[in-house]
Amino acid sequence: MTDRTIRVTTTRHMELVDITAELSEAISRQGVDSGVLYLFNPHTTAGLTINEGADPDVQQDIILGLTDMVSANLPYRHLEGNSVSHIMALLTGSSLTVEIAGGRPVLGTWQKIFFCEYDGPRNRSVRWKIVGDNPTA
């Protein structure tokens, strides 16, 4: 069992950052053949999700849809002015669980794992933990 952190640097106020390759590399470095990858985002204005990664327009559409769902024109009381970001983070959630098989994350054909930035640009982190079988151990 191992636990680690990956760093994510965002460049826009809202964006989805594909972190699949970094996580796949982490699984490979650990030599895990099968198990579970746990992900946790410790930030209250960002989220994690699994969604389509083949067409970057889908990522923009997700942000557009969330922006439409969460009105910026409400009389929010939070002094930092980022209540919209907190609500979007609530909608996508702060953790994911992904099966590992054959030394790789089990994802659908078009799926990728995304860090969802709603209050950037910022330097962020994602905690990961693998619980699994190491065939060389």
In CATH terms, the fold of domain 2-133 is: Jelly Rolls (2.60.120)
pTM of the model: 0.94
Distance (Å, rounded) from C-alpha 116 to C-alpha 44? 11
Q: What is the pLDDT along the chain (137 residues), one digit of tens a residue?
A: 556 999 999 999 999 999 999 999 999 999 999 999 999 999 999 999 999 999 999 999 999 999 999 999 999 999 899 999 999 999 999 999 999 999 999 999 999 999 999 999 999 999 999 998 875 54
Q: Give CA–CA dist 20/74, Å, rounded.
A: 35
Q: Write down the domain spans for the chain.
A: 2-133
Query: Which amino acid, residue 119?
Result: D
Rounded distance, CA 59 to CA 43, Å? Answer: 20
For residue 121, whether the previous peptide bond is cis, meaning omega lies within 30 degrees of 0, is yes
Residue 40 is encoded by which pair of tokens? 């946790």
